[in-house]
Chains A and B, each alone.
Chain A
Amino acid sequence: MKRGLVIGYGNSLRADDGVGWHAAMRFASDARFADVDVVARQQLTPELAVDVSSARAVVLVDARMSGGAPGSIGVHPVTPRASASKMSHHMDPSGLIGLAQELYGHAPSAWVVSVCGESFEEGEKLSSAAAAALPGVADEVARLLSEHPNA
């Protein structure tokens, strides 16, 4: 079983909505994530449940639309939930971790690291606030994985 899995997701064509995607791309050159699987996705899909089920710990990086100043970073644990959404287009972190348990028998410890976005308009660039948050996001993800090596 692998040590950790990081899933950065969001629409990179919608400015700060893609902050998770940008974070995952950035992790590729960060030595702290050398033995961690890092994937960048537009959205969460059922196929990710396979990867989730084979990881000891999972960190999902996403944008949030409110709940703090632009660029503020939040961390919260994910509670697995049995399948609730009717459509694969609307899978959320709890549903994904729950699906891993339901279909593959293992729900790893999981957290969401979120960044409060400033702009969700069309565009490939992050706002300055979201871009400035990326180093902090990397620190939080690294901390979670190192504090829970056997989660």
Chain B
Amino acid sequence: MSRDLIIDPVTRIEGHAKITIQLDDDGNVEDAHFHVTQFRGFEKICDGRPIHEMPSLMARICGICPVSHLVASAKACDEILAVEPPPTGVDLRRLINLAQVAQSHALSFFHLSSPDLLFGFDADADGRHLMGVYQENPQLARDGIAVRRFGQQIIESVGGKRIHPSWVVPGGVDAPLTAEKRDEILAGLPEAKAAVERTLDWYKTSLVRWEEEAAAFGDFPTAYMGLVSPEGNAEYYDGALRVMGSDGSMLADLDDPRPYWQYLGEAVEPWSFLKTAYWKELGYPEGVYRVGPLARAIVADRFGTSRADEELEEFRSRVGRVPSSSFHYHYARLIEITHSLEMIEVLLNREFILSPNVRARAAVNRREGIGIAEAPRGTLIHHYQVDDQGTVEWANLLIATGHNNMAMNKGVLQVAKRYVKGDRLEEPMLNRVEAVIRCYDPCLSCSTHAIGQMPLQVRLVSADGSVLHELTR
């Protein structure tokens, strides 16, 4: 008799999901699925909206990475207006997106994943949480708070709001940067940098503790995808889309990645509201690829800033040029925070960063636009079609978590096969099944607030639907 183990909801991720682990007649794990159980319908919400509303509307997709959606959407709108934003407008868009990367990565690493990393995956859930980190390692806690706060302050300072700023607009940004704000951000950089340095040291010292997990946490060969600059540096705003195979071979280096339908397929499964993207050349479901911090650290030749490149070199010497374990997302995330802070400093010191010329204005000049940018979790693709008046007639969104969907499912299956034994659910197994998902920092939607507790409910269900075993924490 086959049975299902269900983890519902998955905790310490951004959004709502559950995991089902299917057992065969002998009690061995046969299959596993990561279900996204919330439905948002943003592509349909866009229908009939005027194009100038799109960036702000799209920012509402997420409460954690609204800026990245704002940027990708504004780029799609630039195409529809047929405008090229002024160079300072582009630099300011880059600035706020990098602040987004820093604060979102800090949330993922410190708030969501550090309890597992500090206490271990076998630790009691009663103490293995954010508040436990505050008590056990206050310096780590202070550093996490400092980095996230710094990124949030930049977004609030330049964008006007900490969440869902509307400063990024079609054609550029809505207002220039003031000297006062620039100096304020520059003054905060040393503390934020020092906090990341301490955390990197702590993480690298602790890395040996997790060798077993690293070998089982989504450790399988896939392709990786991310934006790169013409020089081969990791890119977050624009550039070529590079896809690298698991053996390090170059599958694609697309100078113009906008016709994404030529190389990416989109599949829908009945058990999840999250659509699945796949690399067309390899087909479905074989065309698995990963995006996000680990992918960017792999596909790029370098980051292009000194400290991040030193860390990238060490990263590659420790885990290889094309590491296959999803566990190393954590490591790559910390290096990306370092790079983001360095790039923010570079941008703020550019000669024309205070230029008043930050926005190009135009009417609707094209019926279609595609915007591609990197969000903290990976590549975003926004594609809109409008009528002559600029009313949206059709929209398609490919988000980072959709790119990673197949890899997350493979990761859950791998961890379940290794740690699920018999028909009883044990805490350390549950922890690891959830933790492999957290490596990807999936962003299923944070725009709604959780009300009350978010218990972890796990059900063991027989083939006839009766509940054999249930755990709640």
Contacts and interface: CB of A to CB of B under 8 A. Distances in A.
A49 B145 contact: yes
B384 to A, nearest CB: 25
A28 interface: no
A88 interface: yes
The interface size bin for chain A is 20 to 34
A103 B141 CA distance: 8
A42 B447 CA distance: 11
B138 A89 contact: no
A17 B228 CA distance: 44
Interface in A40-62: 41-43, 46-47, 49-50
Interface stretch (B129-137, B206-214, B243-251, B464-472): B129-137
A83 interface: yes
Contacts of B141: 46, 103
Interface in B97-152: 111, 129-132, 134-135, 138, 141-142, 145-146, 148-149, 152
B152 A87 contact: no
A83 B142 contact: no
A147 to B, nearest CB: 30
B138 A87 contact: no
Nearest to B150: A47
A83 B135 contact: yes
A103 to B, nearest CB: 5
B354 interface: no
A83 B131 contact: yes
Interface in A51-94: 82-90
A150 B149 CA distance: 27
B131 A89 contact: no
B254 interface: no
A86 B152 contact: no
Contacts of B129: 86-87
- Main SS of the interface on chain B? helix
A47 B141 CA distance: 10
B454 interface: yes
Contacts of A11: 449
Contact of B131 (A42, A43, A50, A86): A86
B108 to A, nearest CB: 12
A29 to B, nearest CB: 17
A87 B449 contact: no
Q: Which of B129, B130, B142, B453 has the most CB of A within 10 A?
A: B130
Contact of A87 (B130, B135, B163): B130
B184 to A, nearest CB: 15
A87 B454 contact: yes
A40 to B, nearest CB: 9
Nearest to A99: B134
A50 B149 contact: yes
B134 A102 contact: yes
Nearest to B127: A86
B1 interface: no
A103 B145 contact: yes
A88 B111 contact: yes
B138 A102 contact: yes
A86 B132 CA distance: 8
Given A42-B449, A89-B450, A103 B142 contact: yes
A50 B145 CA distance: 8
Contact of A47 (B132, B148, B449, B453): B148
Nearest to A43: B449
B145 A46 contact: yes
A46 B144 CA distance: 10
B135 A47 contact: no
20 contacts: A43-B449, A46-B111, A46-B145, A47-B152, A49-B145, A50-B149, A82-B135, A83-B132, A83-B135, A84-B131, A85-B131, A87-B12, A87-B454, A89-B450, A89-B454, A102-B135, A103-B134, A103-B141, A103-B145, A104-B142
Interface of B: 12, 111, 129-132, 134-135, 138, 141-142, 145-146, 148-149, 152, 162-163, 449-450, 453-454
Given A85-B131, A89-B450, 4 more contacts: A42-B449, A46-B130, A89-B454, A102-B138
Nearest 4 A-B pairs (CB), nearest first? Answer: A83-B131, A86-B129, A47-B149, A83-B134
